[in-house]
Amino acid sequence: MLMFDIPFGTTDWSDVERTEHAGETGKAFWRTRNFNNIRVRMVEYTPGYLADHWCQKGHVLLVLEGELHTELADGRTVVLKPGQSYQVADGDLAHRSFTKDGAKLFIVD
């Protein structure tokens, strides 16, 4: 991740537009800010959310609330709880998310 030409700033996430994204099941609600080539998001998954695709994009992801299950293309599943995070590079390992009871995340990609 190369960060450049981003002046110091703050974000009040409650002021950022909320967009809806359907999963295979459930929904994701994103609040997104873009800073040149960096996307920063607050994401909320509804209970029963399952991503509708296998993602190849790199992320740094922090679980703020709930429990997130991340299925990896190599067959592993990682379970994250509040205060836990993962990081993966672009194209490194396909992954997709699931949550039984819902989750709130902070993601940088």
CATH 3.40.50.300 fits 19-108, yes or no: no
- Whether 85 contacts 107, CB under 8 Å: no
Sign of CA dihedral 18, 22, 27, 32: negative
Residues 53 and 59: their CA atoms lie apart, in Å, by: 15
Residue 105: Cβ-neighbour burial (10 angstroms; 0-12, 13-18, 19+):
buried
Q: What's the token pair of residue 49?
A: 């959310």
3 near 35, Cβ under 8 Å?
A: yes
pLDDT of residue 39: 96
Domain range list for the chain: 19-108
Percent of the chain beyond pLDDT 90? 93
Q: Please tell me the predicted confidence (pLDDT) of residue 47.
A: 98
* Per-residue pLDDT reduced to its tens digit, 52-98: 999 999 999 999 999 999 999 999 999 999 999 999 998 899 999 99
Contact 65, 32 (CB under 8 A): no
pLDDT score for 15: 97
Q: Is the pLDDT of residue 3 over 90?
A: no
**Predicted confidence (pLDDT) at residue 45 exceeds the cutoff of 90:** yes
pTM summary value? 0.93
The Cα 31–Cα 93 span in angstroms is 25
